[in-house]
Structure 1
Amino acid sequence: MKNENFEIKNPEGLYDPKPHGYSHIATVNSNSKMVFISGQGGSNMDGVLSDDFKVQVNIVFENIEIALKSEGLLWSDVVKLTTLVVDYDLSKHEILIAVSQKIWPDLKFPVNTLIPVTRLALDGMQIEIDVTAVGR
């Protein structure tokens, strides 16, 4: 379902970012409800972090979905991600793209800033993503 409170754009003159799982611009209408979700890590409520990056990525997105649903929001309401990845490389990039393509099969990806980092808050934490979403 399309959220009329914002628009995702990739203007001519900029390269096509869709193969990398993000968009260049998200424009939000001023009367919209904005929801900010703090950085979600790759552990469930048990606090256990897998050594497997892909497992952590899947848990991060599960956690974000729980937060979105708690506000009555869907993945289609997400306008901005900030993604922090420890020891970032091409294989991790491909995992993130594959997950993004499953979540946004219409390729209307949110804006995303990916930042390689040397470590995160907890030992063994390999990824953290914060989210901005716009309510209907």
Structure 2
Amino acid sequence: MPHTISNPPGLYDPVGSGYSHVAETSGDLVFIAGQGANDITGRIASADFAGQVRKSLDNLRIALASVGLGFEHVVQLRTYIVGYDGDKLAVLTEQIRGIWGERPPTQTLTGVAALAPPDMLVEIDAIAVRP
């Protein structure tokens, strides 16, 4: 299936780390790579979990917008949380509800020991569908 790979302005360039941010297929699916709390330079923009979730979701919004989509087009999230516990779930749930209300996309949440950058606490990837 033909596809297009891109790295939108507003997000750091991940090619040196071996991946790209967005893959569009010739069909209706768009795949967004795991978004962490990276700023444009690649540094983690916040040390606290809630700030990292906010920045990760903001980066997800930027990636979606780069291909003309928004949060309403997301059908699946995969979320990875370092040191998962109930408090972190509550923070994530609050921010997810703030975006999607009572109709969030499907989501798989996985607790992990670590993520690629040692100071990253959360990473969120997504699959979106073009209308």
Q: TM-score range by the shorter chain?
A: 0.7 to 0.9
Check if 1:129 corresponds to 2:120: no
Greater CA drift, 82-91 or 38-47: 38-47
Consecutive unaligned residues in structure 2, runs of 5 or more: 1-25
- Count of equivalent residues: 105
Structure 1 residue matching 2:39: 3-state secondary structure? coil
Greater CA drift, 83-92 or 40-49: 40-49
Match of 2:48 in 1: 52
Consecutive unaligned residues in structure 1, runs of 5 or more: 1-30
Match of 2:19 in 1: none
Aligned identity (percent) is 40
Structure 2 residue matching 1:116: 3-state secondary structure? strand
Structure 2 residue matching 1:63: 3-state secondary structure? helix
Distance in 2 of aligned mates of 1:58 and 1:44 = 12
Distance in 2 of aligned mates of 1:33 and 1:40 = 21
- Deviation of 1:123 (Å): 1.1
Q: Which structure has the greater CA radius of gyration?
A: 1
What code does the residue aligned with 1:52 have?
A: D
TM-score (norm 2): 0.76
TM-score (norm 1): 0.74
Check if 1:87 corresponds to 2:83: yes
Q: Report Cα offsets for 1:31-54 as digits up to 9, x if no partner.
A: 951000001111211323222011
- Deviation of 1:72 (Å): 0.8
What code does the residue aligned with 1:130 have?
A: D
Match of 1:43 in 2: 38
More contact order relative to length (CA 8 Å, sep ≥ 6): 1
